[in-house]
Structure 1
């Protein structure tokens, strides 16, 4: 049985970060990956293909919009094959960074198959292409990711629904698409297919989308999204059935509303050509045999300490399976923390306070830190809120972008508690605030940074300027300055 300093189960963002980092530090490393090509959900079904498709759809949308505005005439049907080829091309380029050859050149032994625990140090690797084998690891890192959650809907097994793992296999944009779920995956794919020619209906069980976002920003984003798709709030798809011979799907929908404290139910049906399930994620932990070795789980996730150590001291877990933040960059950050802990026995903690995330709709929705409601719960009234609309910033005006807002929440001293935005390119220009928050620079410092004119990032300077206006031009300072000026004359 071959022995290793570090065994990593799962070749997604978190697992690859650990494998590369540990190997670079001189540890002997084994990587177990069930797919032929490492890269995880992000490369194969998530970040990479979805953003490639979103960009293709955005170009189609902007071309139509520009043609209409400038009196041009566009004709013809969209070639979905072009959009699909863009997805494949992007994956081929990026997968080189995650290739088996690259990791083998680092000194990592890559095993294809599914890993499961025999003991706290022994891993069994089962593969269809070779005999089952065993390896031994001094430290083991679980990074097996997640998969789409499939809700219990009557008749779902009778139709060919799609998820984020199969949507990119489509050969054409469906004429009528239904999306179950109002989270980032559902919204991004809904908008992409709407722009590629689909009539899109989105079904959301609550009365809003993106429940984790600052509630003041959601109406701004929703105002734009509702121009491109139909939302069904407080709705539930209770049953689906195939329609022969067309191959379309009939949805049975139940709406729940409150009338004088009573729940009122209304039912209807809708026929669509394709159904996308985007109703959350489920951790891939069932086949690991965690119960045999005493690794504790809760609600389908692996329980970890702040150091990402499980209840079994030599075993760590990162990424979606711990159920904290299901983002590629979160898994990468966790992987970096684990490298030091697993290789050198340190006790670095995963830090989530300055972890941002983005919903890549158009406009983009950016989240950093606490929402205003969360901040008020934690800091009572000891906070300040600064807001700037995009149409107050010259570069957005020249780009004819009138919809969007920046909101920054700070304590009384100006240290950032949270920052949120809806707007074109928010994923790029908001990063300055991530740096300021993480390294404890007050918002006022952003005002002192020289921003070239005109840029979208000037919106951050506008917010920071509000801090100084409030600090310098209210209270006793203006009176003191007036007296000083009179004296100085």
Structure 2
């Protein structure tokens, strides 16, 4: 017996659950199809369990001063990076801070080392990479993921796809306009929060008119290393490719009183701006970077100038990092304006004479 639905969703991951929830609350008749467990990669294998592990490692790390732990979880770790540095999608200065911290904790990092083969020798594994043999007990493969679409017969429904994901337009329609796709399946930004953002657009477009387009101009993300890394918008290199009037505003955690009081002085905030104050991007590395980035995300989303970040901030909090960084634009512009400085000198000289 055929059953009619307003919306049928295949996949109960982050994106699918958001679409289903929105549609059901709007009184649409919805079917959600999931072959395994609801929640997707983030809930079961990624974001949520990894944060629990990070918390446990920090508790172990606190014991180092008592000589009870030689490393955060007691394992000897080697990281193989196929490129010339780790975190290739992050600002180079940001990546350098994280790399220095990892190496300081005894983690071995090999760059330009693409894994070529793996051999078993008894209970040990031998990884050949970058011309070297590395002996280890376990291998963690972190090479990304691709959409699991092979068994959906998408071609029969007129939906084009590749190894990178399902092909969609700006409205998240597939090549069959009655079928939408979002989340990891389209292979763009593979983050839970982006999947939720895309899911809202899909829910609106699948149920109502007019259709709206997705906008990826302001997409933040964080890497929960210690120190944390957070980013939104363009990098310095990307900004310089498209704009000439670039200002780089870099503020160290060490200049923020709360950071000094709590011993969290490692890292910095870097804002990428134009001369008119337009914020093009932001890069943070340090304590609570994943929380601090949201003030900048809000400013960029509403197209506010960097001066909007210079407003009053509670003393003493880490949020002063953002306001101090934002103030650097006016300071830099004033330092470069010799005419204005001369005018002010003459003004105050005259004012002193008159009083």
State the TM-score, normalizing by the size of structure 1. Answer: 0.68
For residues 43-68 of structure 1, the C-alpha deviation after alignment (integer angstroms, 9 at most, x for no partner) is 0001100111111111111232xxx2
Stretches of structure 2 lacking an aligned partner (at least 5 in a row) = none
Choose between structure 1 and 2: higher strand proportion: 1
* Alpha carbons 1:285, 1:300 under 8 Å: kept: no
> Which residue pairs with 1:102 in the alignment?
none
Given that 2:120 and 2:126 are in contact with CA atoms closer than 8 Å, whether structure 1 keeps it comes out as: yes
| Alignment correspondent of 2:315 | 453
Structure 2 matches for 1:36-435, cutoff 5 A? 37-64=37-64, 68=65, 72=66, 74=68, 195-228=72-105, 229-244=107-122, 247-251=123-127, 253-255=128-130, 267-379=131-243, 381-435=244-298
Query: Alpha-carbon deviations, 1:277-314, whole Å to 9, x = none?
Result: 11111111111111112111234311111110111010
* Structure 1 portions without partners, runs of 5+: 78-193, 256-266
SS at match of 2:216: coil
> 2:330 — aligned with what?
468
In structure 2, C-alpha distance between the alignment counterparts of 1:326 and 1:241, rounded to whole Å: 31
Contact (CA 8 Å) 2:222, 2:229: kept in 1 or not? yes
Distance in 2 between the 1:471 and 1:350 partners? 36
Aligned length: 349
Asked if the contact 2:147–2:163 (Cα under 8 Å) also holds between the matched residues in 1, the reply is: no
Q: Deviations over 1:344-401 (max 9, x none)?
A: 033211121111000100001111100000001111x221110011111111111222
Kept in 1: contact 2:117–2:129 (CA 8 A): no
Structure 1 position 472, deviation (Å):
4.7
Contact 1:407 1:419 in 2 (8 A): yes
1:428 to partner: Cα distance: 0.9
SS, match of residue 4 in structure 1: coil
Q: Give the match's secondary structure for 1:235.
A: coil
DSSP 3-state at the match of 1:2: coil
Residue aligning to 1:187: none
Shift of 1:241: 2.2
Provide the C-alpha distance between the structure 2 equivalents of 1:409 and 1:370, rounded to a whole number of angstroms. Answer: 8
Q: Could you tell me whether the CA contact under 8 Å between 2:81 and 2:114 is conserved in 1?
A: yes
Q: Which has the higher contact order (CA 8 A, sep 6+)?
A: 1
Cα deviation, 1:379-431, whole Å, max 9, x if unaligned, reads 1x221110011111111111222320111001111111000011011011121
Question: Equivalents in 2 of 1:358, 1:18: separation in Å?
Answer: 24
1:269 Cα deviation from its structure 2 partner: 2.0
SS in structure 2 of the partner of residue 277 of structure 1: coil
SS of the equivalent of 2:92 reads coil
CA contact (8 A) 1:430 1:457 kept: no
Contact 2:205 2:211 in 1 (8 A): yes
User: Residues 481 and 45 (structure 1 numbering): CA distance in 2 closer, same or farther, change over 3 Å?
Assistant: same
Secondary structure of the equivalent of 2:210? coil
Residue 157 of structure 1 is matched in structure 2 by: none
